[in-house]
Amino acid sequence: MDGASPLQILEFYAAAGIDLAIGDTAVNRFAPEPSLLPEQAAAPRADAQDRAAAPKAAAPRPATPPPPDDAAGEARRLAASAPDLATLETLLAAFEGCALKATASRLVFADGNPAGRVMIIGEAPGREEDETGRPFVGRAGRLLDRMLAAIGLDRSGVYIANVVPWRPPGNRTPTPQEIAICLPFIRRQIALAAPELLVTMGAPASQNLLGQKDGILRLRGRWFDCEIEGRKIPALATLHPAYLLRQPAQKALAWRDMRALKARLDPR
C-alpha cells in the first residue's frame, strides 16, 4: 500500500475484519532472520545440548470445536436444560461447539426487557456489539431505536437478541453450519422469554426461525406462526436495519412493517 496514509491503511484493515492488535510492536514478516555469530554456531550451549538429549514432550494441541453434528447435539442438550434466561446465558458462554467463539471478543446475549411484549431477533453481532456485549448498538442499532420510537416503543418494552451470539469475522454472514449449531439456544431463549410477538429482522433470522426459503423481500411484511416448544407465536418478518442503511429507499417498506406491528400490539 505504497503512498497510503495511516488513516487509509486503518480503514483497509477495518474493512478486512482486522480490528484487534495482538502485540505492542509491529513485526516485519519480510525481514531476513538474523544469522548466528560464528562462535554461537560452532559451540552450542550445554543446556541446549541437554535439552536436545532429553525426550521431547508433545506440544499441546489447540482446542478445536467438536464435529458439527456433535456440537449441534450438545447445543440442543444444553439449551433444553436451561430453566431460565440467566442459566441459558451461562451455558452459552461456556459452550465450545461454535468456532465463532474463538474469534469474537465476547458473547452478545441480549438487551432490553425479557418481559417485553415483543422480541426482536437479528442475525449476528457486529464490531460495536462485539465490543460492548449488547446487540444492536452500532449504526443499525441506532436506526432500530428510531424505528421503535416511531411506533411508541423503546428498549424497555422489547427484548432483543440474535440468532448467532458471536460476531463472525469481518461481519460476514454466518454460515448455515454456524446457524444450525446456535439455533437451539435462540429457540430456547424465545421459549423462556415467552414474548407475545416476534419480529425477525433479515433473511437469516426469518428463514431459520420461520422455516422459510424465500428471500427477505418476499417474506417481509408477512405474519407467520413461529412454533417454539409447542407454542405458536405470531412473527413478523421485516428488513434488517443494516440493509436499510445500505438501501435507504427501502425504509418505506420497513415503515409499513412497523405500522403492522403497532396495529397488532394495539388493535382498535
Domain membership flag for residue 126: yes
Cα within 13 Å of Cα(151), Cβ side: 20
Domain membership flag for residue 149: yes
| Rounded-to-integer distance, Cα 146 and Cα 255, Å | 11
The torsion angle over the Cα atoms of residues 164, 165, 170 and 173, rounded to 10 degrees, is 10
> What does the pLDDT read at residue 268?
73
Domain membership flag for residue 35: no
CA distances from 244 to 143, 168, 217, 240, 249 (A): 9, 20, 12, 7, 8
Domain membership flag for residue 53: no
> What does the pLDDT read at residue 259?
98
> What does the pLDDT read at residue 205?
97
Residues of the chain with confidence (pLDDT) below 70 = 1-4, 8, 12-65
Task: Give the CATH number of the domain where residue 112 resides.
Answer: 3.40.470.10
What's the gap between Cα 225 and its chain centre? 25
Coil vs helix vs strand at 106: coil
Question: pTM (2 decimals)?
Answer: 0.76
| Rounded-to-integer distance, Cα 21 and Cα 196, Å | 43
Look-up of cell digits 422469554? 193
Residue type, 178: E
> What does the pLDDT read at residue 30?
58
98 within 8 A of 184, measured Cβ to Cβ = no
> What does the pLDDT read at residue 60?
43
Q: At 119, which helix (H) or strand (E)?
A: strand 118-122
Domain membership flag for residue 256: yes
Number of domains in the chain: 1
> What does the pLDDT read at residue 69?
83
| Rounded-to-integer distance, Cα 160 and Cα 267, Å | 23
> What does the pLDDT read at residue 19?
63
Domain membership flag for residue 47: no
Domain limits at 80?
Answer: 71-265
Q: At 260, which helix (H) or strand (E)?
A: helix 251-265
What's the gap between Cα 205 and its chain centre? 12
| Other C-beta atoms lying within 10 Å of the C-beta of residue 250 | 14
Domain membership flag for residue 207: yes
Domain membership flag for residue 25: no
